[in-house]
Amino acid sequence: MRVPLFPLPNLVLFPGVLLPLYVFEPRYRALLADVQASGGPFGIVRILESAQESSKPFHERVSLVGTLAHLQQAQGHEDGTSTILVGGGERFEVQSFDFGTPYLSAEVKPWPLPADGAEDGLARELLSALLRLNPDRADALGQNAPDDPLLLSSYAAANLPLSATQREAALRAPTLRARLDLLLAQVPQQAKLLN
């Protein structure tokens, strides 16, 4: 499947997570127009190194793992910019890059996250730790937490104090159990001890 790519610094989109974006660069305005015309998703990948940090070509400085972004809302502005809201879809791996448009595109292969059906207990443990870690927001976090272990892993990744590198490691986890374990390992020890 060929998708346009919207690389972002220090950001990892997870399945089920909503992400507001401001689209201002001409190449991403073109991407948005193409996505609106096709109705298809685009991919969000993390920029691993900025142009200031590396002289490598742009496509060699982005992650080869990303998440499909499905356009939920788009509000155009008089100056040609747009504010959009996207929802995270399926994880993917980049197979090859396409340079035939003003923006970077890629052939991607969906990379489903296998689950064995026994992740509920681990997901509940992660949610409990997240709530204890955030006592000021515990009520709101608990009310908004999804029941599905996959979506809960995304929710926790978005709400835990993780670096972009740690979030990317969670996105790359080979199984849902591995993702939950990795996220739980990032919870500070004092929050786990209270569980």
User: Which residues, in sequence order, are bridge partners of residue 117?
Assistant: none
**Residue where a domain stops, chosen among 47, 79, 110:** 110
Percent of the chain with pLDDT over 70: 97
User: Domain check: are 129 and 90 in the same one?
Assistant: no
DSSP H/E element including 150: helix 149-159
**Residue where a domain stops, chosen among 84, 110, 136:** 110
Residues in the chain: 195
For residue 42, tell me if it sits in a domain: yes
In the DSSP assignment, the letter for residue 10 is T
Domain count, the chain: 2
User: Domain check: are 28 and 99 in the same one?
Assistant: yes
SS3 43: strand
pLDDT of 185 > 50? The answer is yes
User: Domain check: are 13 and 104 in the same one?
Assistant: yes
For residue 37, tell me if it sits in a domain: yes
User: Which domain range does residue 169 map to?
Assistant: 120-193
User: Domain check: are 50 and 136 in the same one?
Assistant: no
**Residue where a domain stops, chosen among 110, 133, 152:** 110
The per-type count for the chain, helices as H runs and strands as E runs, is 7, 6
Lowest mean pLDDT among 61-65, 130-134, 188-192: 188-192
CATH number at residue 124: 1.20.58
Taking only the tens place, the pLDDT of each residue in 101-117 is 999 999 999 999 998 88
For residue 28, tell me if it sits in a domain: yes
Residue 94 confidence (pLDDT) = 98
For residues 88 and 134, the model is more confident at 88
Beta strands in the chain (DSSP E): 2-9, 18-23, 42-47, 62-76, 82-98, 105-110
Quickly tell me which residue has 């986890």 as its tokens. 173
Single pTM value for the model? 0.91
Count CB neighbours of 186 within 10 A: 18
For the four alpha carbons of 164, 169, 175 and 181, in that order, the dihedral sign comes to negative
Residues 64 and 75: their CA atoms lie apart, in Å, by 29
Q: What amino acid is encoded at 103 in this protein?
A: Y
Residue (of 195, 88, 93, 86) closest to 150 by Cα position = 88
Taking only the tens place, the pLDDT of each residue in 125-169 is 999 999 999 899 999 999 999 999 999 999 999 999 999 999 999
Angle of helix 164-171 relative to helix 149-159, nearest 10 degrees, comes to 170
Q: How confident is the model at residue 195 (pLDDT cuts 50, 70, 90)?
A: very low
